[in-house]
Amino acid sequence: MSSLTRLDVTVRPRADGDGLLALTELLHRAYAPLGAAGMNFTAVDQTVAQTQFRVEHGLCLVAEHKGQMLGTLTLDQAYDPNLHGWARATPWFFRQDVMHLHQFAVDPAFQGQGVGAALLVAAEEVARQRGARALALDTALPAQHLVAFYRRHGFDEVAQVQWDAKHYRSTVMLKALTDAAPSTGDPEHRCALVRCFLASYQARDWAAARACLRDEARMHWVASDEFFEDADTIIRANALYPEGWRIQVHQVEATLDGGVISLIEVLHGDQRFFGSSRYSFDLGQITFLQEVWATRESPPAWRQASVLGAYRRGAEH
């Protein structure tokens, strides 16, 4: 059996002349076999509007041969927890030093001819130019041919996730672009974990928020002098908080002593609150958080140990 000829492919940023409809149709063709196998990738049936949103929030690359668009991928910087809360299942997409790629597709008629490899090389070049320490992606675990393809191109599996509404589990894969590869124990990963934690709060995904905490995690609300003495109590207190609130994450930064601080804004009806939190970590999870709010208040009647569990109030209450 003869091998397929490798094409002379040009990879460039998408231009206005590269129609969104044509791009969407290419994605549909490329992902149709995966959809037929029961894997409901977003690109199986995404709308033109979805393609536009994904393209406009990243750098879309296209591969062409003699003027024909044969493939594409979209390269993103760290996701914003205020805009991309769906990515809360993994810290890797919230890291400021890791770029990640999505809606990667090659027209089925031109697969096996080096188009995908050319797109990956171009993506790595862009990531290096922008100072990224690694390139990340995710794909369906049942799509073992894709997992093998990425392994051949230097990606290693670093996590598994279950995305909302997907019929399969996904693997997150990483390719280091520098000698100092990112790890789950470095300061930026702790910052990314906090972004996941806050995005989970906003989504009311209490299971995901709980997964960010060690069982023995504690929390202190300084303004009301309340203490929450284990992870389940922390989650319960936030889950039972009167509804109608929305979080805006303004800043998440690492501290020199291995911790993280965050600044958030909470909108609740016509009220606005600002809070600064300090986080400590152990074994890749949050073990302590101290929240300082700009307003001082007495604890409401509903916050009681009989309701929350391992909860107590300061001496003045």
Q: What is the pLDDT of residues 130-162, one digit of tens each?
A: 999 999 999 999 999 999 999 999 999 999 999
Residues 171 and 233 reside in one and the same domain: no
Band (176; pLDDT cuts 50, 70, 90)? very high
The per-residue pLDDT for 1 is 27
* Range 32-55 average pLDDT: 96
Name the residue with tokens 């996941």: 196
Residues 245 and 121 reside in one and the same domain: no
* Range 18-46 average pLDDT: 97
Residues 33 and 120 reside in one and the same domain: yes
Q: At residue 252, does pLDDT exceed 90?
A: yes
What is the distance between the alpha carbons of residues 289 and 213, in angstroms, rounded to a whole number? Answer: 10
Q: Is residue 257 part of a domain?
A: yes
Residues 191 and 120 reside in one and the same domain: no
Q: Is residue 1 part of a domain?
A: no
User: Which range has highest mean pLDDT (3-12, 16-25, 297-306)?
Assistant: 16-25
Residues 171 and 58 reside in one and the same domain: yes
Q: At residue 7, does pLDDT exceed 90?
A: no
User: Among residues 233, 245, 247, 246, which one has the least CA distance to residue 303?
Assistant: 233
The per-residue pLDDT for 64 is 95
Q: What is the CATH number of the domain that holds 59?
A: 3.40.630.30
Q: What is the CATH number of the domain that holds 267?
A: 3.10.450.50
Residues 172 and 195 reside in one and the same domain: no
* Range 71-75 average pLDDT: 97
Q: How many independent structural domains does the chain possess? A: 2
**311 strand-pairing partners:** 228
Q: Which of 142, 176, 210 is the last residue of a domain?
A: 176
What is the distance between the alpha carbons of residues 311 and 313, in angstroms, rounded to a whole number? Answer: 7
* For the chain, percent of residues with pLDDT exceeding 70: 98
Q: Which of 176, 206, 235 is the last residue of a domain?
A: 176
Residues 156 and 196 reside in one and the same domain: no
Q: Is residue 182 part of a domain?
A: no
Q: At residue 122, does pLDDT exceed 90?
A: yes
Q: Is residue 212 part of a domain?
A: yes
**Full-model pTM:** 0.91
Find the helix packing angle between 20-36 and 48-56, rounded to 10°: 110
Residues 156 and 14 reside in one and the same domain: yes
Q: Which domain holds residue 268?
A: 187-313
What is the distance between the alpha carbons of residues 298 and 165, in angstroms, rounded to a whole number? Answer: 40
